[in-house]
Amino acid sequence: MRIDVVSLFPEFVAQISAHGVVGRAQERGLVAIHGWNPRDYASGNYRRVDERPFGGGPGMVMLIDPLRDCLHATRAADPAASSVVYLTPQGAPLTQAKVRELAGRERLVLLCGRYEGIDERLVAAEVDEELSIGDYVLSGGELAAAVVIDAVARLQPGALSDSESAVQDSFETGPDGLALLDCPHFTRPVEHTLGTVPPVLLSGNHAEIARWRRQQALGRTWLRRPELIDRERLSRADQALLDAFLAESGATPDPRNP
């Protein structure tokens, strides 16, 4: 997969993406990340990339032409079709389902804004999709682009050492269509001043362990993110697991999800 990043700080995104799973995915040739700086496409002695907004107000707005020429250069650099994704708080929320969809594409161009934003005419003409990584405002799209790159790169076949680990992630939808939070994890030592590892995990009984993990995932999701579970649509087995979890924990069901 090829990912082009259009940003006034392309080296910032490259640096964040040089480590861990994403760095390894690049080394293995699973993902190639290319940075592009619209300033290289700006004209004049000052190579301006922004101007004050019409209508007044604070901040600066990124100019059409340097961005457009830069985007056209990314397109010319590779014949594979690519969609342009603009990272902005006004975008659709990024979800694991969206990440999966993006991860299946051959090529992506991530457009990072700075200042107050980008001239809307450029967005209308060149952007295919707008994505937000959450309901908060960053000072630019670079961290959001790094988030997209990380989430997408780790789903490339061969990027994770244990091919199972992405399947078990939080929000990965199971065959029943349910996307749950992950269960808790424990490692050595068994006994610690901070507590003991749940005995079922030491039992060697794989069916029991799977049952416990499913129950924990259901219980946690119910308590922390009740909007992710439609209780009516749970299987009988899941309902029984959740009931037992709630009875044991003494938790009261969320009133939004009675």
Q: Which residues bind ligand ADE (CB under 6 A)?
A: 87-89, 132-134, 136-138, 141, 144
* Known catalytic membership, residue 116: yes
**Active-site residue identified among 65, 116, 129, 150:** 116
Least CB distance to ligand ADE at residue 94 (A) = 8
- 36 vs 212, beta carbon nearer ligand ADE: 36
- Closest CA relative to residue 87, chosen from 171, 21, 151: 151
Locate 53 and state its tokens. 């907004």
**Active-site residue identified among 65, 68, 75, 89:** 89
CA 96 to chain CA centroid, Å, is: 6
DSSP 184-249: P---S-SEETTEE--GGGGS--HHHHHHHHHHHHHHHHHHH-GGG--GGGS-HHHHHHHHHHHHHH
Least CB distance to ligand ADE at residue 110 (A) = 10
d(CA 155, CA 73): 28
Q: Which residue has the tokens 């749940």?
A: 198
Least CB distance to ligand ADE at residue 89 (A) = 4
Q: Which residue has the tokens 């020429």?
A: 69
Q: Checking DSSP bridges between strand 107-112 and strand 83-93, what pairing results, if any?
A: parallel
- 139 vs 252, beta carbon nearer ligand ADE: 139
- 132 vs 156, beta carbon nearer ligand ADE: 132
Least CB distance to ligand ADE at residue 87 (A) = 4
Least CB distance to ligand ADE at residue 77 (A) = 24
Least CB distance to ligand ADE at residue 138 (A) = 4
* Known catalytic membership, residue 230: no
- 12 vs 222, beta carbon nearer ligand ADE: 12
* Known catalytic membership, residue 213: no
Locate 180 and state its tokens. 């749950």
Residues 220 and 181: beta-carbon distance below 8 Å: yes
Q: Checking DSSP bridges between strand 2-6 and strand 107-112, what pairing results, if any?
A: parallel
- 133 vs 218, beta carbon nearer ligand ADE: 133
**Active-site residue identified among 130, 150, 169, 182:** 169
* Known catalytic membership, residue 39: no
Element (DSSP H or E) covering residue 65: helix 64-76
d(CA 193, CA 216): 23
- 66 vs 141, beta carbon nearer ligand ADE: 141
- Closest CA relative to residue 111, chosen from 6, 2, 3: 6
Kindly list the catalytic residues.
89, 116, 154, 169
